[in-house]
């Protein structure tokens, strides 16, 4: 500490202001055409409307922001953490034994909390859908290290499989759900087979292309999917055969009738809430378990070094394919849930942005971190929902956040990896205590 104080030179104010001025100038150039000169529709063509105030505002923000940033860096000095794992991740993981169960208990009792109105439940269902999608994608991206930018394709396949099966063959949700998952997994295999040997960013682009292809097909295959009009009247789920309608029709007993309670539209919401909670927890339990099996370890090994895997006789194609197919399967389950919850689906729900949001949930959380995904889903889906008036800025902030988080923590917020098996049992804080001690000694 003392040496740090001694080494610190005076703050170079002129330099900082100069830097800030340069930043402001760059922002001026960037903002001048796009922000400063807005094209407006006028009679007889487009007109240009100048907005110098906006440019000036951006420049001011850039100037001040840069100064604050420089000062922040100066005061923090060179005490930047070099640790590859995030320390937050370590701490959360340390308490994972009870953070996880506590979260689950909270999730289970949430619908009966006094503050849990219909709106809160709706947002929670959304968040849980993305938690499930995030956990599903985590198998592909976090464990196997395959960057899939077309995950929404499997979500779409699941949703349309459910909707089409239910509408055309009158099958119940519980029959359609596994079938939708199977369809999505099969799709994952068909798509994955030719492309999985591609290197990282090639794979990213190809999966992105696949996502778009599925959407284009959904839009244009009118006879099957009703194209852009979408499928409406998708059957709602029933509680083991008991529908949630007020008047379900002749001879059919309804949920409230069977249990002898008053009809309330919230019943269905609560049911959907528990449905997605269970689906998400199944996804999590599956992932936690498969991580400790040979195939799960091989996924992580492939992520680390594919060449070394080849030399150990691991079949990279099959291994990746299982990751891809299983990830797709959970995407398909989530898609079925989405269809039954909305009652209406159209290709508009399955754009690239959706893939990007799911990926963001995984990456922001810390690749491979299950709790991180929950945290990220709450932040990305829940928080913007609570600020609805800022809706139009949502994607803007979202994109910027993606960049900033990657710069700040290239490995995600809660990147921490617990070995899948240990030779020595570790007391809860023993390992960390020792590490900290050795770090302090250095």
Partner 1 sequence: MMSAMAIETGRNPTLLEVEHLTMRFGGLVAIDDVSFSAKDREITAIIGPNGAGKTTVFNCLTGFYKPSVGRLALSHPRKGEFLLERMEGFTIPQKADVARTFQNVRLFPAMSVLENLIIAQHNKLMRASGFTIGGLLGLGTYRRAERDAVDLAKYWLDRMGLTDRADNEAGSLPYGDQRKLEIARAMCMQPVLLCLDEPAAGLNPRESEDLNQQLLYIRDEHKIGILLIEHDMSVVMTISDHIVVLDYGRKISDGSPEQVRNDPTVIRAYLGEEEDGELPPDVEQDLIDDARRQET
Partner 2 sequence: MEYFTQQLINGVTLGAIYGLIAIGYTMVYGIIGMINFAHGEIFMIGSFVSLIAFLLLGILGVTWLPLALLIVMILAMMFTAVYGWSLERIAYRPLRGSPRLAALISAIGMSIFLQNFVQLEQGAKVKPLPPVVTGGFDLLGEGGFVVKLSYMQILIVIVTTVLLIAFSFVISHTTMGRAQRACQQDMKMAALVGINVDRTISMTFVLGASLAAVAGMMFMLYYGVIDFFIGFLAGIKAFTAAVLGGIGSLPGAVLGGMLIGLIEVFWSAYFTIEYKDVAAFSILVLVLIFRPSGLLGKPEIEKV
Token pair recorded at residue 266: 């919230």
Answer for the pair 93, 418: CB distance below 8 angstroms, yes or no: yes
Shortest spacing between CB 86 and partner 1, in angstroms: 14
Rounded CA separation 306/176 (Å):
37
Shortest spacing between CB 406 and partner 2, in angstroms: 4
If the CB atoms of residues 109 and 395 are measured against partner 2, the closer one turns out to be: 395
If the CB atoms of residues 298 and 357 are measured against partner 1, the closer one turns out to be: 298
Partner from partner 2, partner 1, none binding residue 356, C-beta < 5-8 Å depending on class: partner 2
CA-wise closest residue to 348 among 236, 235, 230:
230
Angle (CA) 66 67 68, round 5°: 90
Partner from partner 2, partner 1, none binding residue 232, C-beta < 5-8 Å depending on class: none
- Cα distances (angstroms) measured from residue 426 to each of 93, 429, 430: 14, 8, 6
Partner from partner 2, partner 1, none binding residue 309, C-beta < 5-8 Å depending on class: partner 1
3-state secondary structure of 416: coil
Answer for the pair 302, 143: CB distance below 8 angstroms, yes or no: no
If the CB atoms of residues 319 and 336 are measured against partner 1, the closer one turns out to be: 319
Partner from partner 2, partner 1, none binding residue 407, C-beta < 5-8 Å depending on class: partner 2
Shortest spacing between CB 316 and partner 1, in angstroms: 7
Shortest spacing between CB 290 and partner 1, in angstroms: 7
Angle (CA) 233 325 372, round 5°: 85
Shortest spacing between CB 365 and partner 2, in angstroms: 13
Partner from partner 1, partner 2, none binding residue 367, C-beta < 5-8 Å depending on class: partner 2
If the CB atoms of residues 114 and 194 are measured against partner 2, the closer one turns out to be: 194
Shortest spacing between CB 160 and partner 1, in angstroms: 28
Point out which residues bind partner 2 (CB under 8 A): 26, 29-30, 32-35, 37-41, 45-48, 54, 141, 145, 147, 149, 194-195, 198, 200-202, 204-206, 208-210, 212-213, 216-217, 219-220, 307, 352-353, 356, 359-360, 363, 367, 392-393, 395-396, 398-403, 406-407, 410-411
If the CB atoms of residues 203 and 279 are measured against partner 2, the closer one turns out to be: 203
Which helix (H) or strand (E) segment holds residue 345: the answer is strand 344-345
If the CB atoms of residues 201 and 348 are measured against partner 2, the closer one turns out to be: 201
Shortest spacing between CB 282 and partner 2, in angstroms: 27
Point out which residues bind partner 1 (CB under 8 A): 286, 289-290, 293-295, 297-298, 300-301, 304-305, 307-316, 322, 417, 419-424, 426, 431
Rounded CA separation 92/432 (Å):
12
Answer for the pair 187, 335: CB distance below 8 angstroms, yes or no: no
As a three-state string, the secondary structure of 34-88 is HCCEEEEEECCEEEEEECHHHHHHHHHHHHHHHHHHHHHHHHHCCCCCCCCCCHH
Shortest spacing between CB 322 and partner 1, in angstroms: 7
Residue 178 neighbours by CB distance under 10 Å: 13
Rounded CA separation 195/202 (Å):
9
Rounded CA separation 130/106 (Å):
18
As a three-state string, the secondary structure of 230-280 is CEECCCCCCECCECCCCCCCCCCCCHHHHHCCCCCCHHHHHHHHHHHHHHH
If the CB atoms of residues 391 and 420 are measured against partner 1, the closer one turns out to be: 420
Rounded CA separation 114/117 (Å):
8
Shortest spacing between CB 139 and partner 1, in angstroms: 13
Shortest spacing between CB 199 and partner 2, in angstroms: 9
If the CB atoms of residues 156 and 323 are measured against partner 1, the closer one turns out to be: 323
Shortest spacing between CB 49 and partner 2, in angstroms: 10
Partner from partner 2, partner 1, none binding residue 312, C-beta < 5-8 Å depending on class: partner 1
Partner from partner 2, partner 1, none binding residue 110, C-beta < 5-8 Å depending on class: none
Name the DSSP letter for residue 139.
I
If the CB atoms of residues 50 and 426 are measured against partner 1, the closer one turns out to be: 426
Name the burial class of residue 153, with classes exposed (0-12), middle (13-18) and buried (19+) by CB atoms within 10 angstroms of its CB.
buried
If the CB atoms of residues 168 and 307 are measured against partner 2, the closer one turns out to be: 307
Partner from partner 2, partner 1, none binding residue 278, C-beta < 5-8 Å depending on class: none
If the CB atoms of residues 8 and 289 are measured against partner 1, the closer one turns out to be: 289
Rounded CA separation 230/164 (Å):
11
Partner from partner 1, partner 2, none binding residue 316, C-beta < 5-8 Å depending on class: partner 1
């Amino acid at each position: 500490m003392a040496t740090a104080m001694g080494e610190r030179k005076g703050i170079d104010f002129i330099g900082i202001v100069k830097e800030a001025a340069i930043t402001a100038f760059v922002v001026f150039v960037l903002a001048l055409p796009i922000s400063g000169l807005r094209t407006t529709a006028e009679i007889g063509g487009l007109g240009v409307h100048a907005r110098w105030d906006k440019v000036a505002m951006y420049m001011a923000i850039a100037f001040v922001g840069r100064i604050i940033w420089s000062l922040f860096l100066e005061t923090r000095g060179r005490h930047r953490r070099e640790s590859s794992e995030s320390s937050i991740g370590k701490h959360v993981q340390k308490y994972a034994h009870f953070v996880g169960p506590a979260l689950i208990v909270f999730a289970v009792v949430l619908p009966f909390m006094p503050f849990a109105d219909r709106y809160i439940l709706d947002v929670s269902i959304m968040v849980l859908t993305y938690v499930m999608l995030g956990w599903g994608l985590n198998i592909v991206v976090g464990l196997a290290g395959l960057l899939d930018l077309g995950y929404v394709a499997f979500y779409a396949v699941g949703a349309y499989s459910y909707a089409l099966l239910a509408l055309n063959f009158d099958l119940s949700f519980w029959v359609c759900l596994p079938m939708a998952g199977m369809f999505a997994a099969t799709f994952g295999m068909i798509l994955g087979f030719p492309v999985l040997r591609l290197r990282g960013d090639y794979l990213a682009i190809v999966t992105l292309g696949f996502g778009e292809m599925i959407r284009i097909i959904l839009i244009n295959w009118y006879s099957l999917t009703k194209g852009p009009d979408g499928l409406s009247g998708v059957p709602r789920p029933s509680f083991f055969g008991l529908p949630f309608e007020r008047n379900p029709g002749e001879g059919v007993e309804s949920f409230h009738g069977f249990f002898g309670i008053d009809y309330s539209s919230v019943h269905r919401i609560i049911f959907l809430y528990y449905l997605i909670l269970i689906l998400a927890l199944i996804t999590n339990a599956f992932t936690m378990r498969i991580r400790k099996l040979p195939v799960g370890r091989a996924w992580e090994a492939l992520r680390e070094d594919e060449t070394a895997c080849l030399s150990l006789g691991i079949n990279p194609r099959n291994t990746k394919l299982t990751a891809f197919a299983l990830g797709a399967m959970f995407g398909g389950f989530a898609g079925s849930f989405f269809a039954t919850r909305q009652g209406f689906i159209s290709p508009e729900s399955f754009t690239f942005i959706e893939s990007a949001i799911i990926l963001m949930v995984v990456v922001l959380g810390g690749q491979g971190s299950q709790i991180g995904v929950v945290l990220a889903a709450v932040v990305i889906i829940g928080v913007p929902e609570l600020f609805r008036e800022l809706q139009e800025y949502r994607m803007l902030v979202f994109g910027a956040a993606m960049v900033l988080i990657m710069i700040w923590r290239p490995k995600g917020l809660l990147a921490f990896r617990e070995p899948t098996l240990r030779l020595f049992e570790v007391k809860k804080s023993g390992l960390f205590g020792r590490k900290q001690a050795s770090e302090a000694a250095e």
